[in-house]
Structure 1
C-alpha cells in the first residue's frame, strides 16, 4: 500500500494537473499521482527526467537498455515494469530484456555492453578510469554526462518510488518477461 495518497486531478493546482498523466501511456500513473502531493517537486522531477530522456545523447534503444539495467540493479519493479513496455515499443525483444535483467551482455554489441557496464558502475559508485576510458571510446563527453545522469536519475526515482511505497497499476511483468507465468 502506498505511504502517501494518490492525488486526483482536482487535488492539484490547474497548472500541474497534466503532470499526473503519462505522455507515453496517456493515463495517470501512480508514480505521478504520489508525487502530486508536492506538485512543484513533481514538475521539477518531470523536467529533469524529460531532459534525461531526450538529451542523454543515446538512441531510444540504448536509453531503454540503460534504464532497464539500472532499475533491475536497484531492484525497482515499478520502473522496470514501465520500461519493459517502453523497450518493447522501441523494438527491444523480450529475450534481450531478460538477458539485460540477468546482467548478461554477451549478445549485445560491444558499444551496448560497454554502455551498460558503465551505467552499472555509475550506480554502484565504482567508476574507475578504465570504465571511463571504455565509454569514451564510443561516446563524447556530452553523452557520457548524459549516461551518468540517466543512470543516477533513475536510481533516484527508484528510491523515491520505494520510499513512498508506490504500487504498480497492473501485475508485474517479472524480471524475465520470457518466463512462463505460474
Structure 2
C-alpha cells in the first residue's frame, strides 16, 4: 500500500493525462506517483529519466550497473525489482549482482570497477575521491563522466520518490527498454 495515494487523473494536466493514457507506452507506478510534482518540475524530471534510459553513450550494461548500485545503496526495493530484471536480460551474472549489492567489485573488469567505485562514492560520500575522479576521467572522459553523474543522481532521486511515496512495485518487472519512446 502506498504512503501517498496516486494522483487523481482528473486533476492532472492534459500532458500528464496523455502520458497516463498509454500513448507513450507503459506507465510505471513510479512515473504515476511523480505526477504529483508541478508540471515545471515533472516535465524536466521525466525528460531526464528518459534521457538516462534512451540517450546514453555508455553501454546499457554500464547503465544498469550504475542504477543497481544506486538502488542497493539506497535500499530501493522498487528500483531493485525492475533493474535486476533488466540487468539479467543484459547478461549480468548472479555473482556480478552479488558484487554490486555487497560492494565487492573484484568480479568486474577494471573499467567497471572504476564505475562502481565512483557511483558508490557519489551515493555514500556525495563527492568522489580524487583517485576515483581521475580514474573516471581516464576511462570515460568528461562528457561521459557527467552523463554517469546525471544518471546516478536521477536514480538517487527516483529511489527517494519511491521511498517517500511508497510507490507500489509494479505487477510485472521491466525486462528491457524496447518500449515506445
Which band: TM-score by shorter chain?
0.7 to 0.9
Distance 2:49 2:73 in 1: 19
Q: Give the structure, 1 or 2, with the largest relative contact order (CA under 8 Å, sep 6 or more).
A: 2
- Whether the 8 Å CA contact 1:119–1:151 is kept in 2: the answer is yes
Q: CA RMSD in A?
A: 2.5
- Whether the 8 Å CA contact 1:12–1:39 is kept in 2: the answer is no
Distance 1:171 1:89, change over 3 A: closer
1:137 equivalenced with 2:106 (yes/no): no
Distance 1:170 1:107 in 2: 32
Stretches (4+) displaced over 4 A: 8-11
Counterparts of residues 37-116 of structure 1 (less than 5 Å): 37-38=36-37, 40=39, 41-116=41-116
Higher mean C-alpha displacement, 9-18 vs 136-145: 9-18
Distance 1:65 1:18, change over 3 A: farther
Distance 1:93 1:8 in 2: 40
- Whether the 8 Å CA contact 2:95–2:107 is kept in 1: the answer is no
User: TM-score w.r.t. structure 2 length?
Assistant: 0.81
Structure ranking higher in helix proportion: 2
Aligned counterpart, 1:164: 165
Distance 1:55 1:129, change over 3 A: farther
Unaligned residue ranges in structure 2 (runs of 5+): 174-181
Aligned counterpart, 1:175: none
Distance 2:26 2:54 in 1: 21
Distance 2:104 2:18 in 1: 38
Number of equivalences: 170
Distance 1:2 1:52, change over 3 A: same
Distance 1:33 1:133 in 2: 39
